[in-house]
Structure 1
Amino acid sequence: MASVRDGHRAVLLVVDAQVGVMAQAWEATRVIANMARAVDRARAQGVPVIWVQHANDELQPGTPAWQWVPELVPAAGETLIPKQYNSAFEDTPLEARLAELGATHLVLAGAATGWCIRATAYGALDRGYDLTLVSDAHSTDTLALPDGQRIEAEGVVRDLNTAITWLRYPGRANAAVPVAQLDFSGPPQRARWG
């Protein structure tokens, strides 16, 4: 069983908001703008922002595809975490940095929903963190399967938002909320509809 973390200290994780990741992402312009709103809100409230940046054969460090999208630029002093696996926790210094910050509540935005966002969300919950997924600040591209079928990006986003809304973990709080309802001051609160 994961150790549940006492206290409340929020951190915003922005995962893989890179040119090559967002190039084919569903509603990329809107989602990037919402990521930027989440970053602005975190900074205004003194909430640490941690930037996670993927590298692989398609995202070679230093290439244009590997760079942050122009609308999202880490500020001086904000933590940068390089990664090579889907979860931002695997073989990275993320957990050590979260411990230094006293983080107990992770607010998650970025891409790609079906891969790195999903793996990082479940990794956070498995490690005992409270989790808020910013429901309108993550995206992915449509997946074309070898048999010709397609998994539409909008459905992948909706699926993860629903899962994070309905999941229950002992001693942890989790929610998926739009950026307009984002609250860094307390534990995750379920979205208010209507």
Structure 2
Amino acid sequence: MGLFNGSLPFGDRPAVILIDLMRAYFDPAADLYVGSPDCLASAARLLSAARAARVPVIHTRVGHSRGGIDGGLFYRKVPPLRDLSGPLGELMPQVAPLPDEVVIVKQYASAFFGTPLASTLTALRTDTLVIAGVSTSGCVRASAVDTIQHGFVPIVVRQAVGDRSRGPHEVALSDIQAKYGEVWDEQAVLARLGAP
């Protein structure tokens, strides 16, 4: 019997979170470019299925005040974060939020850190958080770890997350599956949400 062989159930009250699907990650000229157009397409399909099933959807994007003091050392460590106050900080049109969908502006990697995400999920009586977005080894992993630490089941959609290189992407997914949540294929998640 392996050390990391536990599993967590997909609950009855899921919510979907789309993490940082901003132009900066999909514009080849941008420093943060991940080169993963397939993950954006997968996230768009997931979003469509969630809306059809009336599953709550939450979007995140990164934003800092002028000078980045609210981003602290992270803002200093990652200079391209300074580019997110303009057009590169816009959410991609394929996954643009509807007026009634929550958009959380975050300053750090985790979607939970310093944001109202946990209280929002609690108010929705969420038990499972389905995660898509970028980057797998950064904000997705940090958010998955905080998801379980806040008492929600993290389900990361394999095809709906992306990273700048394959190595960190695969290691992060393996680590999440081993210790912090579940990594599901897109089709299995779509079926669970009731998509045809």
- TM-score after normalising by structure 1: 0.77
Instruction: Give the match's secondary structure for 2:82.
Output: coil
Instruction: Give the match's secondary structure for 2:39.
Output: helix
Structure 1: distance between partners of 2:82 and 2:192: 34
Structure 1: distance between partners of 2:138 and 2:173: 14
Q: Which residue of 2 aligns with 1:79?
A: 102
Q: Which residue of 1 aligns with 2:67?
A: none
CA contact (8 A) 1:17 1:110 kept: yes
Residue ranges of structure 1 left out of the alignment (5+ in a row)? 1-6, 142-152, 169-173, 187-194
* RMSD over equivalenced CA pairs, Å: 1.8
Which structure has the highest helix share of the two?
A: 2
Structure 2: distance between partners of 1:68 and 1:111: 12
Instruction: Give the match's secondary structure for 1:92.
Output: coil
Structure 2: distance between partners of 1:94 and 1:128: 12
AA aligned opposite 1:10? P
Compute the displacement of 1:184 (Å).
4.3
Q: Which residue of 1 aligns with 2:175?
A: 163
Structure 2: distance between partners of 1:67 and 1:185: 27
Residue ranges of structure 2 left out of the alignment (5+ in a row)? 1-10, 28-32, 65-80
- Cα deviation, 1:66-107, whole Å, max 9, x if unaligned, reads 001122111120011110010010111111111111111000
Higher RCO (Cα < 8 Å, 6 or more apart) = 2
Structure 2: distance between partners of 1:59 and 1:119: 22
Structure 2: distance between partners of 1:132 and 1:71: 22
Identity %: 27
AA aligned opposite 1:12? V
